């Protein structure tokens, strides 16, 4: 067990150092959320007006914008496995005393630390956008963002464990990220779309992560995913994301051990 936690610590530290030394990656992770915020928020905000009583479009969209860099960074964490495989580092890891399950868990933990750091930076935009935020809100957001990052990192690792080239992984991730992004309820309430689109949105684990973050900001009375007539609270939505993350990580560990 001590070897497992040592492996998690070593790999998580390496992933963090790799990220902070990769400036283009750091900048690009914030670029798309800001572009969406400007285009949808500033561009369409006046046309759309209020999404819910007392909540304008920018306030409604902001929780999703906060989670967007976490989504992109976490899912793309799987590319590190492909990169390590292509450049031979993975072979050195596999012949080292490091625990294989700990290697995967360490990559997920590293992505979680990075995502939390990105979320903290995005929180600085809240006062500028007139989004109410307080110390208790920040404390409630920390575990939610960590759970969301963990689950999405596990998905990226599951896919990365099966890929052999960075180009193939990145192309596949574009097909995964954008549907998950637009079906997560960032830009529109899930309950106010066509029935078939609502069903797809409720099958998307990111929807529940966004819902939990939005409820933390705006309250349960203006948010919540309804399943079989039951409107889920933030803890319930977070629990769904956590369970899905455990399933993804278990599959990633099994696939990683089987492939290598």
pLDDT in tens, 87-108: 666 666 666 767 777 777 888 8
Q: pLDDT tens digits, residue range 140-163? A: 888 888 888 888 888 888 888 777
- Give the least confident one: 29-33, 106-110, 113-117: 29-33
- All structural domains of the chain with their residue ranges: 2-259
Extract the tokens encoding 74.
């976490």
Q: Are 106 and 10 in contact (CB under 8 A)?
A: yes
What crossing angle do the helices spanning 23-36 and 2-20 adopt, rounded to 10°? Answer: 80
Average pLDDT value for residue range 187-216: 84
User: Which residue in the block uniquely carries the two structure tokens 């309430």?
Assistant: 189
| Residue 77 to residues 36, 61, 81, 191, 201, Cα–Cα distance (Å) | 22, 25, 8, 31, 23
Burial of 74 (0-12, 13-18, 19+ CB in 10 A): buried
Q: How confident is the model at residue 259 (pLDDT cuts 50, 70, 90)?
A: low
Average pLDDT value for residue range 33-49: 63
């Amino acid at each position: 067990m001590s070897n497992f936690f040592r492996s998690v610590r070593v790999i998580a530290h390496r992933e963090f150092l790799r990220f902070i030394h990769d400036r283009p990656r750091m900048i690009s992770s914030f670029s798309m959320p800001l572009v969406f915020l400007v285009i949808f928020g500033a561009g369409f905000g006046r046309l759309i007006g209020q999404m819910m009583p007392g909540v304008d479009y920018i306030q409604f969209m902001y929780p999703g914008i906060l989670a967007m860099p976490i989504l992109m960074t976490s899912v793309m964490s799987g590319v590190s496995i492909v990169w390590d495989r292509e450049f031979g580092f993975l072979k050195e890891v596999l012949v080292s005393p490091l625990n294989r399950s700990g290697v995967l868990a360490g990559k997920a933990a590293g992505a979680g630390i990075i995502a939390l750091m990105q979320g903290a930076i995005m929180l600085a935009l809240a006062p500028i956008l007139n989004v109410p935020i307080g110390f208790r809100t920040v404390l409630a957001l920390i575990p939610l963002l960590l759970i969301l990052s963990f689950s999405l990192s596990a998905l990226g690792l599951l896919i990365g464990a099966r890929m052999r080239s960075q180009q193939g992984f990145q192309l596949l991730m574009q097909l995964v990220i954008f549907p998950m992004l637009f079906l997560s309820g960032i830009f529109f309430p899930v309950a106010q779309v066509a029935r078939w689109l609502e069903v797809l949105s409720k099958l998307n684990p990111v929807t529940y992560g966004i819902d939990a973050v939005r409820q933390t900001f705006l309250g349960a009375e203006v948010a919540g995913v309804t399943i079989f007539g039951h409107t889920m609270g933030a803890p319930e939505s977070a629990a769904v994301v956590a369970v899905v993350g455990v399933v993804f990580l278990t599959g990633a560990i099994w696939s990683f051990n089987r492939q290598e």
